[in-house]
Amino acid sequence: MKCTGVVRKLDELGRITLPIELRRNLGVGDKDPLEIFVDEDTILLKKYNPADIFTGEMDDLIEYKGKKISRASILRLAEIAGLNISE
Q: How confident is the model at residue 87 (pLDDT cuts 50, 70, 90)?
A: low
Q: What is the CATH class of 9-48? A: mainly beta
User: What backbone phi and psi angles, to 5 degrees, belong to 59?
Assistant: -110, 150
Closest listed residue to residue 55, CA positions, set 77, 39, 33: 77
pTM of the model: 0.58
Stretch 53-78: mean pLDDT: 92
Q: How many CA atoms lie within 13 A of 9 on its CB side?
A: 2
Q: How confident is the model at residue 73 (pLDDT cuts 50, 70, 90)?
A: very high
Domain range list for the chain: 9-48, 49-87
Q: How confident is the model at residue 74 (pLDDT cuts 50, 70, 90)?
A: very high
Distance, in Å, from the CA atom of 34 to the CA atom of 23, rounded to the nearest integer, reads 11
